[in-house]
Amino acid sequence: MTTTERPAAEQRRHHVERTGRPGAGVFNPRQLLVSFPDALRKLGPRHQLRNPVMFVVWAGSVLSTVLAIGDPDVFTILVTGWLWCTVLFANLAEAVAEGRGKAQAETLRRTRKETTARRLRADGTEEHVPGAELRAGDRVVVEAGQVIPGDGEVVEGIATVDESAITGESAPVIRESGGDFSSVTGGTTVLSDRIVVRITTKPGESFVDRMIALVEGARRQKTPNEIALTILLATLTIIFLLAVVALQPVARYAGSVQPVIVLTALLVCLIPTTIGALLSAIGIAGMDRLVRRNVLATSGRAVEAAGDVSTLLLDKTGTITFGNRRATELIPVDGTAMATLREAARLASIADTTPEGRSVLDLCGGPVEVAEPHEFVPFTARSRMSGVDIGDRHLRKGAASAFAATEESRRVVDEIAAGGGTPLVVAENERVLGVIRLSDVVKPAMKERFAELRAMGIRTVMITGDNPLTAKAIAEESGVDDYLAEARPEDKMALIRREQEGGRLVAMTGDGTNDAPALAQSDVGVAMNSGTMAAKEAGNMVDLDSDPTKLIEIVEIGKQLLITRGALTTFSVANDLAKYFAILPAMFAGIFPQLDKLNVMGLHSPASAITSAVVFNALVIVGLIPLALRGVRYRPATATALLRRNLLVYGVGGVVTPFAGIWLIDLVVRLIPGM
């Protein structure tokens, strides 16, 4: 997506988030019915073994079924039925999350078209082959109106490309060889001109294929935090299992042996079934929210790491500013004539393929052919200059620090930089002729966004190739915490390592080959889809919209995932308290009448109390499915404030809700004969 398109895309995205329209993760009750067959298919023991908590519930359901068949009564049949409902509802939560992904995958599949590729032979002739037969390294010709047959890089030519099938953006983008905007995605359409594309992926491994596998959950692996929480839940389950097993000898000693069905119900109600049932759905839904924003993550680990990020490295151009930096003024120095400066700037920019280089040519009258023997000096990040050698004339244009400045040129450079512009010095044979002013504009509301990040405890660092004065002016205007000026690839790497040595997780965006080392070093590396393959392979996320500001949203999605998991874990553990008050008095009130004081809900009978607790334990899973899929609403706050909010809302709510729920269910259950 070009920089001029980003504000519109930003507005559309925020509109979706405000309105909750499709793509924003809105829960539709119809999804429960559609996903019900998948939930039934997941009832097998092989699937249940993946979740230790729900496997215990499944085993208890099997045992209860055997007991109900051998000695059927109303209580045993009811408890058995609702134990199976608990397992089924857990499967349903996962099936709904996967079903949303499958629906999105089907949409992506429709974007793929079986194409015939015009593959180039070694001798330069063409052959027509099915797109599925293309291999990495093949070169194909694509002209206006044709579909690009696979992911690759433009190695020859320039063209406008319609990427709406992949990104949803209707405005075409420009893809060309030899720059940081050379990458193309299979399934997109060339609208004009002719390009030669070198295929970089094998069949079935394109970005669309990887997105399909990702949203369907076929390749989803548990993240480190998810694994740690699973181990914790399994440990709690074992502890409660031992505690329930130990109750029977105590009951036997007291002269009131408890039926196995009662002990099974007690175990299922006391173990953390709520979070155990929803844990997988929370992870799938978090990945789904990311994919709905056209971000492809290589794993859930990257999404989770985004939630723990404490340092954001943001490119100035295109992220903090609009990125359409253009040459707006030529300023001669030391008596140089304007015509002389214009000619020198024009010639020095012919080999500069960057947008800034092209804008200099536009300002100076457009490209010009050099008739005399010459040698171009292309722009590089290391030299920070470009130019041309024509005979004994060495014309150069680049960063002020790359030249020996005169007093007047230094003054002009400082004035431009102090005003937030970017100065480019033009020189001939090391003699400074003048300065070019490049102007850029900070995006609106960036200061407010950075203030929100600061409230979240995240430090923002602006990365720019500009000189320190320009960087300082933009940093103050935008409100970032720090900046790195005249940044080279090795400077970015050094900054990331320093932050990581201090125990911080670092996130950054990039699109060029020179960004690849830093993307690989960072904990969350977001590569732009419009960038080079080296950048996309180095990062652990790819933004199909090529919008650098999306890094801020990715961090918010990661934090929402962690907060949702923490909130529902808090609720799950807290609601065991009410079930404790419902079941234990019912079990032992006949032996120890004093325990009847713990029956604070005034439940009708031991049988109705236990049944009501089991029913609530199952229904609460269904009730929390929308929250697990949508995610707990994220508000920028410190870790302490978030913990306090979780404890107040989901801790207290987890205690109060079951008391009210079990009491209401008991009012219905007591009407059943035999209860």
Q: In Å, what is the CA distance from 521 to each residue of 366, 515, 546?
A: 40, 10, 20
The stretches of 419-549 forming alpha helices (DSSP H) are 446-455, 468-478, 489-501, 516-521, 533-538
Q: Give CA–CA dist 52/279, Å, rounded.
A: 12
**Assigned token pair, 463:** 């990365």
Q: Give CA–CA dist 350/424, Å, rounded.
A: 15
Q: Which amino acid makes up residue 155?
A: V
- Local structure of residue 132 (DSSP, 8 states): G
Whether 386 has a binding-site annotation, put simply, is yes
Closest C-alpha to 463, from 477, 488, 484: 484
Whether 383 has a binding-site annotation, put simply, is yes
Whether 605 has a binding-site annotation, put simply, is no
Q: Which amino acid makes up residue 157?
A: G
Whether 511 has a binding-site annotation, put simply, is yes
- Local structure of residue 406 (DSSP, 8 states): -
Angle between helices 576-588 and 224-254 (to 10 degrees): 20
Asked whether 491 and 313 are in contact (CB, 8 A), the reply is: no
Out of 288, 315, 543, 666, the active site residue is 315
Q: In Å, what is the CA distance from 176 to each residue of 155, 319, 353, 507, 637?
A: 8, 22, 10, 28, 43
Whether 381 has a binding-site annotation, put simply, is yes
Whether 379 has a binding-site annotation, put simply, is yes
Q: Give CA–CA dist 161/184, Å, rounded.
A: 8
Asked whether 424 and 343 are in contact (CB, 8 A), the reply is: no
Whether 397 has a binding-site annotation, put simply, is yes
Query: Cβ contacts of residue 612 below 8 Å, gap of 6+?
Result: 582, 603, 662, 663, 665, 666, 669
State the Cα angle at 415 between 414 and 420, rounded to 5°.
95
Burial class (CB in 10 A: 0-12, 13-18, 19+), 136: middle
Q: Give CA–CA dist 624/568, Å, rounded.
A: 9
Closest C-alpha to 628, from 73, 124, 96, 215: 96
Q: Give CA–CA dist 631/284, Å, rounded.
A: 11
Asked whether 544 and 167 are in contact (CB, 8 A), the reply is: yes
Whether 384 has a binding-site annotation, put simply, is yes
Q: Give CA–CA dist 248/253, Å, rounded.
A: 9
- Mind giving me the DSSP string for 605-670? -HHHHHHHHHHHHHHHHHHHHHHHHH-PPP----HHHHHHHHIIIIIHHHHHHHHHHHHHHHHHHT
In the residue annotation, 414 being an active-site residue is answered as no
Whether 515 has a binding-site annotation, put simply, is yes
How long, in residues, is the chain? Answer: 675
Q: Give CA–CA dist 109/256, Å, rounded.
A: 62
Rg (CA), the chain: 32
Q: What is the 3-state secondary structure (H, E, C) of 326-379?
A: EEEEEEECCCCCHHHHHHHHHHHCCCCCCHHHHHHHHHHCCCCCCCCCEEEECC
Please tell me the number of Cα atoms within 13 Å of 596 on its side-chain side: 8
- Give binding residues for ATP as ranges: 352, 356, 379-386, 397
Binding residues for Mg(2+): 511, 515
Binding residues: 352, 356, 379-386, 397, 511, 515
Q: Which residues are catalytic?
A: 315
